[in-house]
Amino acid sequence: MIPVHVLANMASRPWLMEPNWFRVALNIVSRDSPNAGLNGEFAQKIEKRALSLGDGKAKDLKFVEKRGNIGILNIRGPIVRYAGMMELSADIRSLETYAQEFKALEEDPSVETIVLNIDSPGGEASGIAEFATYIRNSPKKVVAFVDELAASAGYWIASAASEIYATSTAFVGSIGVVFTVVDDKEKLKKEGIKKVEIVSVQSPKKRPDVTSEEGQAQIQVWANDLADKFIKAVARYRGVSEDFVLNNFGQGDLLIAEKAKDVGMINGISTFEGLIKKFTKKGVTMPQANANVNADQDVTITAESVKEKYPEAYEQIFKAGAEAERKRIEEIENLGQFTGYEELVKEMKFDGKSTAEMVELAVFRAEREKKQKIGEDYSKDGAKAAALLAEAGVGVAEAQTQVKEPKKDSPLLKAAAKLKIGGK
């Protein structure tokens, strides 16, 4: 039995989560069996997944791992916004914690690429858009890997990465929003509890009656508005139109990796190790400083100590570093001229860390933002011009004629003058 306070807590907020997993989350936070109330097939899948980890328990993965120049952020299970609110077990993690760990990877100078290792059914909607925006604006390359599932909020986060890869058996999607509302009137009635709410007359919609069509319609608007934000974000991140997302990205369903790749929801299919290998930077192997040092003993190695004890190795490392830096700058210069973005390219070229790929991405983002701004300005001016033409009684055909052969007293020119478009 799921306690009323747990239901009330989870029902008070919107969720971006695959439905079966929402039930699992309810069971977890109520300390019930994770499989309670689930359909048989899904319950068996959860049980097999736990047993496949060896001891029948959920794997206690670290939030962050490092592999060479790659920082890995493991995003696992249902997601809530704040630590401490519902982060009660190893099965649920908070967005607050993920954001802190992601920031730490961004600030780590040894990390060049961040991999989001995702296996999540989604979670609480609050904060997901902000976290995705933070990921998208990261100065470092961010790649998402879907281990088994990136559903709803999990896919929103994945879509913010520059590239998405998944295992061949992974599922992605479930784009949409769910408001779960609990009608506890009958339960309270049986328990002899009568609840009275007094709502200010100025706020008739503050407490929608979920049992009425009007109340459900009001909550439906909430869900639709949030889903629009979700769809717009995915379309922007994946470089497609909103209509394309609506028609091809599952309409709330999950797509297996191959189908997801066909429609552009992911970039490719890969194993995790294959992905790590793809983005691992080849480095110089350091010679062992002391063969007698205990493996568990902390050893401090400085550039000066290496130069003193191993001058040849130091020279090798120095040359390799210089060559790598020369090659990095050369690759950026080979990109060609980015008119209008010379200062941005110059700054990144000499920061000692930005790759050619990162420069291209930065220019692409800047250009996209510029075009969006221009598009918004054109849209506003276009609407304004249309209103002025309508006011002046000028039809489309007449306007087109006057554009080619404008008359001095043309209403079109008067409208353009008001908008300060063309003319003298």
Q: Specify the length of the chain in residues.
A: 424
The three-point CA angle 193-196-197 to 5° equals 145
In CATH, what number does 4-277 get?
3.90.226.10
Instruction: Report how far residue 424's alpha carbon sits from residue 417's, in angstroms, rounded to the nearest whole number.
Output: 9
Tell me: pLDDT of 133 over 70.
yes
Positive or negative, the Cα torsion across 254, 257, 263, 266?
positive
Tell me: pLDDT of 165 over 80.
yes
- Give the DSSP H/E element, type plus range, for residue 348: helix 342-349
Bridge partners, 120 (sequence order): 150
Q: Which of the 8 DSSP states describes residue 206? A: S
The SS3 assignment for 130 reads helix
Task: Tell which wins on pLDDT, 268 or 350.
Answer: 268
Instruction: Report how far residue 212's alpha carbon sits from residue 203's, in angstroms, rounded to the nearest whole number.
Output: 18
Instruction: Report how far residue 145's alpha carbon sits from residue 139's, in angstroms, rounded to the nearest whole number.
Output: 19
- Mean pLDDT confidence for 61-82: 86
The chain-wide mean pLDDT, for the chain, equals: 75
Confidence of residue 420 (pLDDT cuts 50, 70, 90): low
- Residue 363 main-chain phi, psi, to 5 deg: -65, -40
DSSP line for 256-317: EHHHHHHHTSSSEE--HHHHHHHHPPP-PPPPPS-TTS-TTS-----HHHHHHH-HHHHHHH
Give the model's pLDDT for residue 383. 66
What single-letter amino acid sits at 135?
I
Give the model's pLDDT for residue 320. 80
Strand bridging mode 141-151 / 113-120 = parallel
Q: Which of 256, 253, 250, 249 is nearest to 168 (CA)?
A: 256
pTM: 0.55
- Mean pLDDT confidence for 397-407: 57
Tell me: pLDDT of 141 over 90.
yes
**Tens digit of each residue's pLDDT (9 = 90 or more) over 202-251:** 888 888 888 888 888 998 998 899 999 999 999 999 999 999 999 999 99
Give the model's pLDDT for residue 101. 92
Half-sphere exposure of 46 (CA within 13 A, CB side): 22
